[in-house]
Structure 1
């Protein structure tokens, strides 16, 4: 690590200039001006990941043409000393300018995308930092091509310098994406905060409806925590032919959407759910967060077992916010919860990987799924949302409806972010919940660290509902594979653990040619016919092509164990149970 200059000199200044000489080729040019840092050498680094997306993405792989010069334009030697570190032989020069190009052509909310119509800059993938100076301020000047007129970012503008923005430190800079182009920008006020929506790529959206509905979500989310920490907030929405996903930031978010999906009610409500999810992160992750997630190490993985709390609780509240805002009726909300239960309970990996371990392993598993992931892993989003639901129900029941998970998060926000100005340990959050509820919640926290089945009804019954498996008593044979059909070929895409296909040796990428001597038709309907008429224990002769060779496998059909779960009103619920259920699902 380099040594910062002594107080005998002016405080170091760091300024970036971003320009676009070849946007059509997906390039941006970056100049990093470092002033008054008089050292023998300066090490500059590119982050390897971006907060909120737990994968080492190796952003340095898109950096090229790195050069440095002094104030007179004289060349300064630059040596790359690690995968994401460059050493400038600055020779105590008072001014050093590092120049480099970045390539960006990946469509996502966490990577750079540049073309002849616009540029989306993910700051962690764009801006280097001086080693040891993450807490140092920086300014950024953007020079758009002549045809581009608008810049959207959560960064604070510098009043006397056009297209120039200020970040108090690099944590803020890396948390402030920048959109440059001709995006459609419109605004609304909610919860005392000025909100901007920057629509990129067009679409059939209704501006007035979006402003009204987003404001409703903002007000409801702010009501939970009692305060909104921002004065200004920016939604950057990338509209594609088919799009999705989002990434939270300190005072902004980046969302992906389908440009022609706004007039479809189901698609539109799904988009509002994404808005609710990322906006809820404004408090829950960006400020209230595990102690392991801040200050960040941008050089390596930042491990935590608590993503089931951060992402899972947020996934619970996004649909709950839609319910409270009346974008989901009671039936649709319960169906959304049932969908999460079906997703978790019908995934073999739920019996293998605890959700806390899924949190820890996000860096190597969640963003790198393979054909066996369903058998080995569980989503901390889905299962975390279900554990949040159980906590909410338990608190409601224990306090006769006087408290719920909202109160826990509000108290935790004030306790850890506002008062202690630090993250929390998992056991601290558990203790706080028990303080609010007045009852132990070790059962739910233990469930996050084991693969024991969840007893949903012990919590749902308390509020007048029950989980019913509509497949109970159903005797259906199951082969245990998923398939895709393309160009007349039926190819195995997944093999489920513990099924006949698993035991009998069917592989992913096997082409299924025939069943019991009958060739499959072009759409695989013959296999469906066989399964519909077969019984549990039947043996099938499955002819497959594997790596150009023909093999016949003998597969014994097992029982289809997949559930069809649905949350329904509890028969003969008491008045007290029904009252709690109304509080749980109310619009207030």
Structure 2
């Protein structure tokens, strides 16, 4: 006969108080109270990573001055692992844990506090009691000075914006909180209320943004047939230079440059980010790989399917702007060419399969080094390309009756809504095959688990397009390096696999000083009047010593592709094109 633990018999009550007495010094003070205890000890833990950002970041490193009290008396709190404290609670019904969090990294995945605002990325702020991940909690926020607004997807308690509640820790850790004097505006789509919280100012047009963001929401909702939220929050951090985003269940955090809204390119770039992160509320937050939930907050959560979770989202961020009528046909095709060029100009695409890129996100994708371009491929970029190929395959095979949209909706309804769980790799493959009407074993072997060169024209041809490399007929020589310049110094930042520098021993970090004895101060001077096959002597400064390295120049393999229409597309091809691009 099994025994139910005493701690599970009567649910504990958990509450937090967050204050900022030292906001100017970048600290948040946390007071956590757990009552209803009936156990000899309580372990409290902090997550080591933030879901959606696949890297162990060790958030507990920012905690200091942790102490525990009960009945106004100190109780023993001992750190027993990198992110766990054990508190003696024998004979104690309620304990309060106090600690400070240093927060001075303003990114979409980390917390930041200063005198102007606080951004709480909750995985790095709130300890949770071990074994109580499904327990509800309340958060009382004591604002600093003139802070008068809170932006979050968490529900308010009694209409008080500064008192919040979370039904469990998965939702608390998926609900960032912005506190300050942010500019808030909003819109509504199909009964769902949207708030946009802008920190840092900027040259944005609220009316235009509201209208275009609503179009994106409507287009994306159309893919899945429903929006599972009652309200949704965009938290936008506008800085001099900023970017990136992180998805959450009913909100997202975006980084933007405060002046980017004034140019069409910058504005479109922001809308693309909006489309990407908002699409995630379905794809990955609900329709997810089976490994990504319930989350293990102590360890890595491995999956081979980030090419679907992130790569397809990268594909849809462009497709949705087209379907919403925000970008024209050529704008969408140019975006896809950008992904294709990135894939084809990355040497690592011939080394790392797409599924492996996903699995190794934890140790490679988020920890790039000077050799990453040679050893790996982004599951964002190649995943977006694969999304395009599968979309075209399904549209063509179904005589333009179905598309990748139908697969996404079917998988969402079947696994998130129907089975209440994530999908396996085999299950998503079966979903593709259901709507393609054919087995995709060879496709997976070649493009997902293998390293075959992508036959772009086969798939683009379904829609009456072709891919052309504008550099295919050129004979431009190359040294095979990526260079950086600081002042008059030209430094090697990357050495590309199988290029001249790779073969002849130029190193990352080398400062290029001269070519054939002639000093160079500009990158253009290195290859001036050179041709393929030339043997040149490169003088480099390496660790304070001069070296002369003989190098034989080779043809530059870089591609510059474009997608263009076939001269006489067939009726079937035009039907595929119309379905694909909603022309």
**Whole-angstrom distance in 1 between the partners of 2:372 and 2:404:** 31
Structure 1 equivalent of residue 435 of structure 2: 436
By how many angstroms is 1:160 displaced? Answer: 6.2
Alignment partners' CA distance in 1, 2:394 and 2:285: 25
Q: Deviations over 1:373-415 (max 9, x none)?
A: 1001100000000001010000000011000000000010000
Q: Distance in 2 between matches of 1:240 and 1:322?
A: 25
1:15–1:139 CA contact under 8 A, matched in 2: yes
**1:541 corresponds to which residue?**
537
Q: Give matches, 1:260-339, under 5 Å.
A: 260-339=259-338
| Counterpart Cα distance in 2 of 1:160 and 1:542 | 69
SS at match of 1:141: strand
The separation in 1 between residues aligned to 2:190 and 2:319, in whole angstroms, is: 19
Range 86-95 or range 119-128, more displaced: 86-95
User: 2:442 & 2:270 partners in 1: Cα distance?
Assistant: 34
Q: How does 1:13-24 map to 2 (within 5 A)?
A: 13-24=13-24
- The 5 A counterparts of 1:420-569 are 420-446=419-445, 447-521=447-521, 523-529=522-528, 533-569=529-565
Q: 2 CA distance for matches of 1:146 and 1:134?
A: 33
Partner Cα separation in structure 2 for residue 323 and residue 526 of structure 1: 42
Where in structure 2 are the equivalents of 1:3-42 lying within 5 Å? 4-5=5-6, 10-42=10-42
Does the Cα contact within 8 Å between 1:139 and 1:167 map onto a contact in 2? yes
Which one of 560, 576, 579 corresponds to residue 580 of structure 1? Answer: 576
In 1, distance between residues paired with 2:476 and 2:66?
63
Could you tell me which residue of structure 2 aligns to residue 244 of structure 1?
243
**RMSD (Å), alpha carbons:** 1.3
Cα separation, 2, equivalents of 1:196 and 1:255? 13
1-side partners of 2:420 and 2:275: how far apart? 25
- Given that 2:138 and 2:164 are in contact with CA atoms closer than 8 Å, whether structure 1 keeps it comes out as yes
Moved more, 463-472 or 253-262: 463-472
Question: What's the offset of the Cα at 1:473?
Answer: 2.2
The alpha-carbon deviation at position 162 of structure 1 amounts to 5.7
1:458, distance to aligned residue in structure 2 (A): 1.1
Q: Aligned pair 1:390/2:386, yes or no?
A: no
What's the counterpart of residue 165 of structure 1?
Answer: 164
| Contact 2:283–2:309 (CA under 8 A) maintained in structure 1 | yes
* SS state at 1:203 partner: coil
SS state at 2:462 partner? helix
Tell me if 1:259 matches 2:278: no
In structure 2, the residue matched to 1:73 is 72
| CA pair 231-547 structure 1, distance change in 2 beyond 3 A | same
Per-residue deviation, 1:484: 1.3
The secondary structure found in structure 1 opposite 2:249 is coil
Equivalents in 2 of 1:133, 1:279: separation in Å?
30
Contact 1:41 / 1:92 at 8 angstroms: preserved in 2? Answer: no
Post-superposition shift, 1:456? Answer: 1.1
Q: Deviations over 1:243-265 (max 9, x none)?
A: 11000000000000011111111
Per the alignment, do residues 7 and 550 of structure 1 end up closer, same or farther by CA in structure 2, a change over 3 Å counting?
A: closer
In the alignment, structure 1 segments of 5+ residues that lack a partner are: none
Separation (CA, whole Å) in 2 of partners of 1:443 and 1:230: 39
Summarize the Cα distance change of 1:420–1:314 in structure 2 as closer, same or farther, 3 Å threshold: same
Cα distance between partner residues in 2 of 1:487 and 1:424: 52
Q: 1:315 to 1:200 in 2, by over 3 A?
A: same
SS at match of 1:176: coil
Structure 1 CA distance, aligned partners of 2:527 and 2:485? 13
Corresponding position of 1:191 = 190
Structure 2: how far apart are the matches of 1:180 and 1:575? 56
In 2, Cα distance between equivalents of 1:130 and 1:4: 15
Q: Summarize the alignment of residues 108-119 of structure 1 with structure 2, pairs less than 5 Å apart.
A: 108-119=107-118
1:303-329 alpha-carbon deviations (Å, 9 max, x no partner): 001000110000000000011112211
Secondary structure of the structure 2 residue equivalent to 1:445: helix
The DSSP-based 3-state class of the residue aligned with 2:262 is coil
Q: Describe the superposition over 1:201-238 as per-residue Cα deviations: whole angstroms up to 9, x where unpaired.
A: 11111111111111111111001100000000000000
Matches within 5 A, 1:116-195: 116-159=115-158, 163-195=162-194
- Cα distance, 1:443 vs. partner? 3.1
Query: Contact 1:358–1:379 at 8 Å: present in 2 too?
Result: yes
- C-alpha distance in 1, partners of 2:169/2:361? 24
CA distance in 2, matches of 1:366, 1:287: 23
Does the residue aligned with 2:186 lie in a helix, a strand or coil?
strand
Q: Distance in 1 between matches of 2:358 and 2:167?
A: 30
Residue deviations 1:492-514 (CA, integer Å, cap 9, x gap): 11110001110110001101110
How far apart are 1:451 and its partner, in Å? 1.2
Corresponding position of 1:96 = 95
Range with greater deviation from structure 2 (159-168 or 444-453): 159-168
Q: 1: distance between equivalents of 2:334 and 2:126?
A: 43
CA deviation after TM superposition for structure 1 residue 464, in Å: 0.5
Indicate how the Cα distance of structure 1 residues 314 and 7 shifts in structure 2: closer, same or farther if over 3 A, else same: closer
Kindly tell me the number of residue pairs found equivalent between the two proteins: 580
Q: Distance in 1 between matches of 2:383 and 2:218?
A: 24
Q: Quick check: 1:480–1:500 contact (8 Å CA) kept in 2?
A: yes
Q: Distance in 1 between matches of 2:232 and 2:66?
A: 34
Contact 2:27 2:101 in 1 (8 A): yes
Distance of 1:443 and 1:410 partners within structure 2:
24
Counterpart in the other structure of 2:403: 404
In 2 relative to 1, CA 525–157 (structure 1 residues): closer, same or farther, beyond 3 Å?
A: same
What is the TM-score with the length of structure 2 in the denominator? 0.98
